[in-house]
């Protein structure tokens, strides 16, 4: 676990955080304002786009569930002439 303060040092610093590469939950984070004397456990979100899911997906990608026979996947290999 890395504190977010390791990434944000001055006003305007930005970060792209991708939570789940398969579902591509992407967060664009920017340090909007910096107050030296304020110490809090949580910070206010001043802008949000989209709907927040109630729960993250429970499915875990399993490589063994992928079909290995390319014929079953209906690939067109005619381009290799």
Q: 6 vs 81, which has greater pLDDT?
A: 6
- Indicate the number of domains in the chain: 1
Residue with tokens 């792209």: 16
Task: Read off the pLDDT band of 72 (50, 70, 90).
Answer: low
Q: What is the mean pLDDT of residues 64-73?
A: 60
Q: For residue 49, which phi and psi values (nearest 5 degrees)?
A: -125, 135
How far apart are the C-alpha atoms of 56 and 1, rounded to whole Å?
Answer: 19
Please report the pLDDT score of residue 14 as a whole number: 92
Q: Which domain holds residue 17?
A: 1-81
Residue-wise pLDDT tens digits, 11-23: 899 989 888 777 7
How far apart are the C-alpha atoms of 6 and 16, rounded to whole Å?
Answer: 14
Mean pLDDT, all residues of the chain:
75
Residue-wise pLDDT tens digits, 9-55: 888 999 898 887 777 778 888 888 877 776 777 777 888 888 877 87
């Amino acid at each position: 676990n890395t504190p977010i303060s390791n990434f944000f040092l001055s006003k305007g610093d930005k970060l792209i955080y991708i939570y789940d590469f398969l579902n591509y939950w992407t967060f664009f984070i920017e340090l909007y304002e910096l107050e030296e004397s304020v110490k809090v456990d949580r910070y206010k979100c001043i802008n949000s786009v989209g709907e927040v899911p109630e729960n993250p997906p429970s499915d875990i990608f399993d490589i063994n569930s992928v079909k290995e026979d390319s014929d079953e996947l209906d690939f067109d290999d005619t381009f290799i002439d």
